[in-house]
């Protein structure tokens, strides 16, 4: 998969660009944050036809349906897709609980929406960060699997069996985790209001939409494509729900810190967003020294001409939206080599800033954050 050659095309507003990506993938964008997130799978789980006893009913959303048998196909699919969506954030016991809800001997349980169903599970089975311990959540298994899809498209090889630690690879954030946590801290402290919270999380959301739009045309296997769309949809919906839940908790005057379950929920959702960690890159020599700086990625087009100074390439979505974040969120700026000559690419390449489309505009107050990485330690672009 390659990005098209670019020679300073007319500037396109971010909102128009996202709308184009949505249209290309058959996605439907919400009119605002209060609207439900779009469903890119468009394949809702259907309960078996003709079920009379509706002991578990989910009224709307991508898990909508009637589930009337604990071990039935519909209930097993519900548990499977719930695990893909939020399973990494739940303690053991939730699968038995869902099966019990769908048992014919139980009274009717109704959830108005899929998000209400998820919130019920999270309220009963959420993993809770211990006060005094680490506040950074781990990546979900879905985040790793989604990154394997992109990495496979980039390398032209099946990466489903990739073992990152054996190859010294990591999923490099474009917008660093420290900036995610700092931004949540701004909100808890009152420095940011709801609009600011929605603005920066929306960039993670839009980066994920655009990444999916780049990937989906190149996923040939229909089963993999169906899984990919469902997994991305679940991420988008969970980020939206996590933002609303935090806003509601703060609006209610709840005492909140980084360990609070509702805060951890947003940290996890934001940290897992596919558009911000879409692939794999070298860990020890690049990802670690880049640390908490913005990490840029561009893709070299097939017709790249190193000698054509007029030829430029755009940043890929996660990098573009990371650069669009306000500088106070990322005080160490965007990662460059130890001589402040080249950008440090997430794939270990050195990138001439002059060859990146609109780089000076996107820099917009961000400092150039020097790392300890020599340019000669990086690969040619």
CB distance 21 to 205 below 8 Å? no
**Boundary-marking domain end, from 78, 109, 125:** 125
Both 142 and 111 in one domain: the answer is: no
CB distance 315 to 356 below 8 Å? yes
Both 310 and 381 in one domain: the answer is: yes
For 220-247, the pLDDT digits (tens) are: 999 999 999 999 999 999 999 999 999 9
**Which of 68-77, 198-207, 290-299 comes out lowest in average pLDDT?**
68-77
Say if residue 369's pLDDT is above 50: yes
Both 109 and 137 in one domain: the answer is: no
Both 146 and 60 in one domain: the answer is: no
What pLDDT does 130 receive? 65
CB atoms within 10 A of CB 14: 13
Both 110 and 134 in one domain: the answer is: no
Nearest Cα residue to 297 out of 319, 324, 275: 319
d(CA 228, CA 226): 5
Does residue 272 sit within a domain?
yes
Nearest Cα residue to 277 out of 345, 177, 179: 177
Domain count along the chain: 2
For 139-156, the pLDDT digits (tens) are: 998 999 999 999 999 999
Both 105 and 148 in one domain: the answer is: no
For 311-359, the pLDDT digits (tens) are: 999 999 999 999 999 999 999 999 999 999 999 999 999 999 999 999 9
Both 109 and 206 in one domain: the answer is: no
- Structure tokens belonging to residue 79: 């548990």
What pLDDT does 11 receive? 41
Range of the domain at 105: 56-125
Percentage of residues in the chain with pLDDT exceeding 70?
85
What pLDDT does 52 receive? 38
Average pLDDT, the chain: 86
- Residues 6+ positions from 305 with CB-CB distance below 8 Å: 311
**Boundary-marking domain end, from 101, 125, 149:** 125
- Structure tokens belonging to residue 225: 């494509």
Does residue 37 sit within a domain?
no
Does residue 351 sit within a domain?
yes
Both 98 and 1 in one domain: the answer is: no
Does residue 96 sit within a domain?
yes
**pLDDT band, residue 114 (cuts 50/70/90):** confident
Q: Is the pTM of this model over 0.85?
A: no
DSSP state of 140: P
Does residue 49 sit within a domain?
no
Hunting for tokens 């080249």 — which residue is that? 342
Say if residue 6's pLDDT is above 50: no
What pLDDT does 63 receive? 87
Does residue 216 sit within a domain?
yes
The residue ranking higher by pLDDT, 217 or 105, is: 217
Does residue 46 sit within a domain?
no
Both 104 and 228 in one domain: the answer is: no
Does residue 197 sit within a domain?
yes
Both 185 and 145 in one domain: the answer is: yes
Both 222 and 306 in one domain: the answer is: yes
**Boundary-marking domain end, from 82, 106, 125:** 125
Q: Are strands 169-170 and 368-370 parallel, antiparallel or unpaired?
A: unpaired
List strand residue ranges (DSSP E) for 277-367, in order.
281-282, 334-336, 343-344, 350-351
CB distance 207 to 174 below 8 Å? yes
For 38-68, the pLDDT digits (tens) are: 444 333 333 334 333 458 999 887 788 999 8
Both 152 and 119 in one domain: the answer is: no
């Amino acid at each position: 998969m390659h990005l098209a050659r670019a020679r300073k095309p007319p500037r396109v507003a971010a909102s128009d660009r996202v709308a184009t990506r949505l249209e290309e993938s058959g996605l439907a964008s919400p009119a605002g944050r209060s609207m439900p997130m779009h469903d890119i799978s468009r394949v809702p789980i259907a309960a078996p036809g003709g079920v009379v006893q509706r002991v578990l009913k989910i009224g709307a959303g991508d898990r909508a349906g009637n589930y009337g048998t604990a071990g039935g196909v519909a209930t097993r699919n519900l548990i499977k897709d719930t695990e893909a969506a939020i399973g990494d954030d739940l303690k053991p016991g939730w699968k038995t609980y869902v099966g019990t809800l769908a048992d014919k001997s139980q009274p009717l349980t109704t959830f108005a929406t899929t998000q209400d169903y998820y919130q019920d599970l999270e309220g009963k089975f959420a993993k809770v960060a211990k006060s005094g311990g680490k506040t950074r959540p781990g990546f979900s298994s879905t985040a790793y699997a989604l990154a394997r899809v992109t990495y496979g498209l980039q390398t032209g090889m099946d990466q489903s069996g990739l073992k990152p630690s054996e190859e010294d690879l990591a999923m490099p954030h474009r917008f660093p985790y420290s900036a995610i946590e700092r931004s949540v801290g701004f909100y808890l402290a009152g420095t940011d209001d709801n609009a600011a919270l929605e603005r920066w999380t929306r960039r993670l959301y839009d980066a994920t939409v655009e990444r999916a739009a780049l990937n989906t045309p190149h996923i040939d296997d229909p089963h993999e494509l169906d899984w990919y769309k469902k997994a991305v949809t679940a991420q988008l919906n969970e980020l939206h729900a996590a933002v609303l839940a935090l806003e509601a908790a703060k609006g209610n005057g709840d005492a909140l810190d980084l360990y609070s379950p509702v805060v951890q929920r947003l940290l996890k959702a934001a940290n897992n967003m596919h558009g911000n960690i879409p692939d794999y890159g070298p860990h020890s020599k690049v990802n670690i020294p880049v640390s908490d700086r913005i990490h840029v990625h561009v893709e070299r087009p097939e017709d790249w001409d190193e000698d054509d100074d007029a030829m430029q390439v755009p940043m890929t979505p996660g990098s573009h939206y990371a650069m669009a974040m306000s500088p106070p969120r990322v005080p160490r700026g965007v990662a460059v080599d130890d001589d402040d000559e080249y950008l440090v690419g997430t794939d270990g390449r050195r990138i001439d800033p002059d060859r990146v489309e609109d780089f000076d505009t996107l820099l917009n107050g961000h400092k150039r954050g020097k790392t300890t990485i020599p340019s000669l330690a990086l690969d040619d672009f």
